[in-house]
Structures are given as C-alpha cells and as structure tokens.
Structure 1
Amino acid sequence: MEIRKLTMEDYEACMALSEYAFQFKLTEEQIEMRREEFAKQNVLGVYADGQVGAKLQIVPFQTHIHGRSFEMGGIAAVATWPEYRRKGWVAKLLQSALEEMNRNKQSISFLHPFSFSFYRKYGWETYVEYKRYKLSTSQLPAKKITRGTVKRGNPELAVLKQVYNAYAARYNGTLDRDDAWWTRSVFLKKGSQRAVYYDEAEVPQGYVFYEVKERKFTIGEMIHLNEEAREGLWTFIANHDSMIEEVTLQAPADDMLAFQLDNPRIQQEVVPYFMARIVSVEQFISQYPFASQESPIQILLEVEDQYAPWNEGVWELNVAMNGTASIWKKAESEHEGQRGQLIRLHIQSLTTMLMGYRRPVEMEQIGRIEGTSAAIQALEKAIPVRGTYLLDFF
C-alpha cells in the first residue's frame, strides 16, 4: 500500500467509496457539484491492488477563535472499503493529514467523529456541544411587541452575512463562511423559508431559516444579536400557532431559552458535536490572543503528541501584559530549574482548553493535566473565557 494525494482522475473512485461507506446515492447534478468541491480539496488516499482502498479529505476553512481568524483543516469523508479495514490505514492517513496540514500552516483541525473514542487516540478532542430543543406550541415563549419588524422572504446574502459574522465572532470554533459555503451548505440545507428581524433603525439583528411541514416548525438556523431580536423572532414563530404543533431547533450550549420560559420543563438534550486538534503548537499559540495580564506570565508546557512529533517536548510560553504570546521549544537541560512552572498534558487537553471548551482548573480536577497549583492558576488566568459553538457540518 502507498499513500498519495488523489487527483481528479480518482474522483469517481472516491465518490463510489463515499456512497458505499456512508450509504447514500447522489444524483448526477450532485455528482457534478461535488466534483467542483473535490477539485478545491486536499484528498489523501491509500492505494492497494491498483485502487483507492481508503481516503480522507482535508477541507480548507477559517475559524473564529477569540475574535481572530485561524486557518483550519476540516477532516471529512474518512472511509475504507470493508475488505481493507482493520489494517491501520486510517491511522496512517490521519498522520499524513497532520503532516500535510502542518506544511500548509493549518494550525488547528476539526472533524465530526463517528466515534469520539476512536479519534481521541489520534489527538482530537471534543470542543463543542449544542442544545437540541423540542417545544409544543403551548410551551413557546410569550408573544412580545417589539419596536422592530420581521420581514419574510429571500433577504440579500449581505444582510445574512452581516448578522452571522457578528454572531459567529462571539464564539470559538464557528466557521468564517464564504459565499460558496452559504450557497451549497447553508441555503440548501437549513430550510427554504427565511425571515430577518430588523430593529427600529432598519438594521438587521437576527434571522431564522425554517420549514413548516406536517404541523412541525423545523428551525434550521436561528441567530439573534440581542434580546429584542430574540423576542421578535420567537413572536414570529409563535404566530404560526394555528398551523403547527411543535417547534424544533438547536442552540449553543450557553443558550438560556428554558430559563426564560414560564415553564422551563421542556424537552432539551445536550449533544456532543465536533472535535478539534491543534496541528502545530508553535503556529497556533503564536497567533492565539491570551487575556491581558497585570504582569507577564511564564509557563512551561510539556506536551505529549505521538502522531505529531513536532509538538512533543517542553515549550516555554510567555504571555505579555497585553496578551501577546511567544513560545519556543526548550532543550531538556534548559528547564531543570523551572519545574515549578511546568504543566504536563496531552495535545488533546491543550486543545480543549485553548478552544475554551474546558478550563485548566477543571482539567486538573479530573487528572487530565498535571502541574503545580501556581502554574495551573497562571494558565487559568491566561486563557480568555469564551464559549464554543458550531452552526455548520462537514
């Protein structure tokens, strides 16, 4: 077997493998649409017996992290023909993908796991979850009179992007959507009905994508930038009460819908969603905006990373008072006198903390990081507090 970058000549073979592994069938139109996407992606495959036996795609994205845009490699369409499974090929593909992303300066990687435990073996870790709600019409938020208006129809993309970009920047791990992504992955999948909430000054402050079918109001995406927009959109939804019996939607983990209802006993579920992995400790942390400090912070991070050996070792992290970071790898003899500043951790733990999904103090409590109290408290202060969310799928 050999691992190689796949080309357009391999497209049909890749699509056949995906259809088999994920149990779907594409139309001719969908095949052609995906052909264009395939040409833009970095696809790695294992060749055996003269054919593609396994493959994965690295989709180029940008993601928001603490208000900055990071280059991100999205791992997708990981598949193997059944006769070639249990040979360790996916492990080799993932390691090759990490090397490829490192060369391309994609310092962080996301994926949607079929199994969390499987991808944890290779350094990915949970970074986001969401709430899934189901409400009957009697449980909907009370209708409110607001100063703005809801306009239903087909708003211009610029209007939707204005709202989405402001909202996405509030969370870590959201995608920086380009126009092509809006067209093929938002408009086609989130619901054909759209409505935008405009405030009194005609500034868009929220929107909802939805479908109404079989007395169900299914929300594909709802965003509101303030409480007024939230009330306006929920009033718009509640005005369908003669047509529907239930409403379903997903929301970020920090959403307070249940708390804001007269009766918070609604059906809600917390769903673990995507995983993340730092590809390059040096690249990622050099760009990472830490919290402002009263005085500079110095921490030693002893990182374990079997599948990305360039990350392994002891790193000296210095955080300036303005939150700017510098980091470099130290030789064994250089940190003997700094053991009080040392934190030992796996790449998974470093990722989930810097993404904002878990805090250093929490990770110490469950034995996922080790270090002195002073070092862990310093890291706790250095990492800004911001929740995670992802409204997309790939």
Structure 2
Amino acid sequence: MEFRKLTADAFEECMALSEYAFQFVMKEEQREKRQKQFEKHNVWGVYDDGSLGAKLHLIPFQTYIHGRSFDMGGIAGVATWPEYRRKGWVAGLLKHTLEEMNRNKQSISFLHPFAFAFYRKYGWETYIEYKKYKVPTSHLPAKKQTPGTLRRGNPDLDVLKSVYNAYAERYNGMLIRDDAWWKDSVLTEGTSQKAVYYDEAGQAQGYILYEVKERKFTIDEIIHLNEEARQALWTFIANHDSMIEEVTLQAPASDTLAFQLDNPRIQQEIIPYFMARIVSVEQFISQYPFASQDSPVQIALQVRDAHAPWNEGMWQLNVAMNGTASIWKASEPVSEEQTVQMDIQSLTAVLMGYRRPAEMEEIGRINGPAEAISALENAIPVRETYLLDFF
C-alpha cells in the first residue's frame, strides 16, 4: 500500500469518493466551506497506480475528560471505492493513523462508526450513548415562573461559549469547541433559532438551539447549568403549545426528563453513538486525573493491543494520594495471578467512565485479583460520558 498525505490539489478527487461512498451530492455553495475544512484536516489516502482507492480524515480536536483537556484525534470520512474493498486498505489506514496520532501526542481518538463491530477489531470501543425523546405537546412540563429573563435572538458567541464550556466540563468526551467549530459546525447559517436564559444577576445559565417547522419543535441543543434554567427553557418550549404537536431532543443517557413529567409515558430511545480508543496508554494515563486516595495505589496492568504495539505488554501503574498517576513498562515479569488483564477496548471503556471495572469483570472483559480490581474501581472517578457534536 502506498500512503499519501493529501494536499489541497486532491480535494476534488477526495470529495468524489465521499459523495459516492456516503451517497450525497454536495451543493455548490457548500463546496468552498468544505474545501476550507479539508485543508485543516490531516487526510490520508491509499493509492493504486496513481488513483485514490481509499481515504481517511484525521481531525485535530480537544476533549474534556474529568474536566481536563486532552488532545484527541477525530477519525472521519473513512471511505473506499467498491473495487478496492476487502483488500485490507482501511485496516492499513487505521494502523497508519494510529502511528500518526501517537507521534502527534493525541492520546485518545473518537469516531462515529458505520458498524461498531468493524472498529472494535481495531481497538475502538463504545464510549457514549444518549437518550432521544419525542414528547407530545400534551405531555410537556408544567410552565413555571422563574426570576430571570429569557432572551430570544442572536446572542454573542461568548455567551453561548461560557454556558457550553461550564456544561461540557461535567462530562467525559465532550468537544472543546473553538470559534471555527462553533461557526462552521454548530451555528451554521440559516439553521437554528436561539434563546438564552439569564438569572437575576444577568449571568447566562442556559441556552437552546431549536427549529419550529411543520408543527414540530426540534431541539438541536438544550443546555442548562441548574434547575432554574431548566425550568425556564422548558417553559419557553411549552409556550409554543399552540404552534406545535411534539418536541424532539437528545439528552445524556441519565437524563430525568420523563421522571419529572406528570405523565412520563413518552417515547424514549437509547442510542449508542460514538466510539473511543486510547492511542497511547503511557501518554493518556500520565495525564489522567485519578481520584484522590487514602494511600498510594500500585497495580500491574497487562494490556492487549494488536494494532498499537507500543501499548502491548505489562505496565506498572502507580496512583499517588492526590490522584496523579505514573506508568511505565514493567522491567521484570509479573505472574498473571498478580495482574489486571484487559484489552485496549476495555481499558478505554473504563477510563472514559462509560463502564466501571467491577461490571467489566462480571462480564469477563477484565480479569485479575479482586483486590487490584477493587483498587482500580476506587481510583477511577465517576463521571458520565456525553457528546453533542458530530464529525
């Protein structure tokens, strides 16, 4: 396989493959915007006799994990012409991209899979699911008076950013959005209406991006930092009751909207969404904020990773009392009876907070001495995963 990093000259060739693989036709007015995005991506292709056969976009992002910023490589636009499929080219691209992310110190990677089983083979694992609601107008929350003010219109970007950032830090796996991402991917021209809730002190505490069309109230994003803001935003939604028949939205999997309704019998669907993969065990864990401990924790960790050999093997993990971690390859053999053993997918799921070590042991995804697994359970902070964005 011949790997090439694609330049601006390859844009049309790359887009032709995307249009064919993902079955869309790009409108002319979108082309300039898409080309600018292409030039910001790290796009790799596989060539055969000078023709592009497969390609992959590696997008530089940052994500929140336990309130800390991690450099993340977003995988997107993976596509192959049908005549080149089942030749191992995508597998080669994924391995090549792992090496690239490792060099770039992007210690974690996210992607939206066309098939979860396919990407699990290469080390990615589910890290988030979200709840999708469809609420009939007759079931909407009761309208309540709140002391603040809701303003509809076009707020300053800094206002939305301040609310989003405070909210995003509460979850593992949310994007740290820069201004370009806000403008190109969130507040795209001609889409959402906007409304912001301000408390009595004039501080923004929540916002909603939405569309009202054909008697449906479609929420793109609803973010509230406290119960007062939640009530104010839902009262605003309910004030559309003469115009709409239903409201649709997504929320974190733990969201309690239905419980708070007088009639909780609404349509709810849990949807597995994105996958994550630890690119570098050493880089990721060295930055990872573990929970504070009463005494230092030492765990021997056996990691299996067939596609990133730098992760494969026995690691010594030490967690200080303040939660700071250090990790290094073990210099001496350690017996299996003394180690916690898992593959890179399982390690990703537990460190992202999507699954707990104890439940992963119960289903056979983690093996090891009970004392060590219990220590790992106590060392990993509890925090829900969520993601509002798509790429």
TM range (shorter): over 0.9
Quote the Cα distance in structure 1 between the aligned partners of 2:337 and 2:178.
Answer: 45
Partner of 2:184: 184
SS at match of 1:371: coil
For 2:164 and 2:286, the matched residues in 1 are separated by 27
| 1:80 Cα deviation after fit | 0.1
Q: How do 1:209-288 and structure 2 match up within 5 A?
A: 209-288=209-288
Displacement after TM superposition at 1:17 (Å): 0.3
In the other structure, the counterpart of 2:358 is: 361
- Residue 190 of structure 1 and its aligned partner are, at CA, apart by 9.7
CA 1:84 to 1:122, structure 2 compared with 1: closer, same or farther past 3 Å? same
C-alpha separation in 2, matches of 1:209 and 1:141: 19
How far the C-alpha of 1:29 sits from its partner, in A, is 2.5
- Matched residue type, 2:361: E
Q: CA RMSD in A?
A: 1.1
Q: Percent of aligned pairs with the same residue? A: 74
Q: Is the 8 A contact 1:360 1:376 kept in 2?
A: yes
Tell me if the contact between 1:17 and 1:80 (Cα under 8 Å) persists in the aligned partners.
yes
Deviation at 1:308, TM superposition (A): 0.3
Counterpart Cα distance in 2 of 1:191 and 1:314: 51
Residues 106-136 of structure 1: per-residue CA shift (max 9 Å, x gap): 0000000000000000000000010000011
Cα gap change, 1:369/1:190 in structure 2, threshold over 3 Å: closer, same or farther?
farther
Q: Distance in 2 between matches of 1:240 and 1:8?
A: 46
C-alpha displacement at 1:66, in angstroms? Answer: 0.3
Equivalent position amino acid for 2:2 in 1: E
Rounded to whole Å, the distance in 2 between the matches of 1:38 and 1:244 is 39
| Deviation by residue 1:75-95 (Cα, 9 ceiling, x = unmatched) | 000000001011111000000
1:126-164 Cα shifts (integer Å, max 9, x gaps) = 000100000111100110111111100000000000000
| Distance in 2 between residues matched to 1:48 and 1:379, nearest whole Å | 47
Query: Contact conserved, 2:192 with 2:220, CA < 8 A, in 1?
Result: no
SS in 1 for 2:361: helix
Instruction: Spell out, residue by residue over 1:19-40, the C-alpha distance to the aligned partner (whole angstroms, 9 max, x if none).
Output: 1100111122211111111111
Separation (CA, whole Å) in 2 of partners of 1:246 and 1:279: 42
In structure 2, the partner of 1:48 is 48
**Residue 303 of structure 2 aligns with which residue?**
303
- Aligned pairs (5 A) from 1:96-245: 96-188=96-188, 191-245=191-245
Gaps of 5+ in 2: none
**Structure 2 CA distance for aligned equivalents of residues 30 and 189 of structure 1:** 11
Whether 1:335 and 2:324 are equivalent positions in the alignment is no
| Residue of 364, 368, 380 corresponding to 1:371 | 368
Task: List, as ranges, runs of 4+ consecutive aligned residues in structure 1 with deviation greater than 6 Å.
Answer: none
How far the C-alpha of 1:340 sits from its partner, in A, is 5.2
Calculate the TM-score normalised by the size of structure 2: 0.98
Which residue does 1:67 correspond to in 2?
67
| Aligned counterpart, 2:390 | 393
In the alignment, what sits opposite 2:342?
Answer: 345
Distance 2:223 2:191 in 1: 14
Deviates more, 1:24-33 or 1:258-267: 24-33
* Letter of the 1:317 counterpart: L
| Cα pair 1:190 1:220 within 8 Å, conserved | no
CA distance in structure 2 between the aligned counterparts of 1:342 and 1:172, rounded to whole angstroms: 27
Q: Secondary structure at the match of 2:60?
A: strand
Match of 2:2 in 1: 2
The TM-score with structure 1 as length reference comes to 0.98
Contact 1:190 1:209 in 2 (8 A): no
Amino acid at match of 1:68: R
**Letter of the aligned partner of 1:380 in structure 2?**
E
> Does structure 2 retain, via aligned residues, the 8 Å contact 1:298–1:319?
yes
Could you tell me which residue of structure 2 aligns to residue 82 of structure 1? 82
Are the equivalent residues in 2 in contact too, given 1:298–1:341 (CA < 8 A)? no
CA contact (8 A) 1:46 1:52 kept: yes
Whole-Å separation in 2 of the counterparts to 1:373 and 1:329: 22
Which letter does structure 2 place at the counterpart of 1:48? D
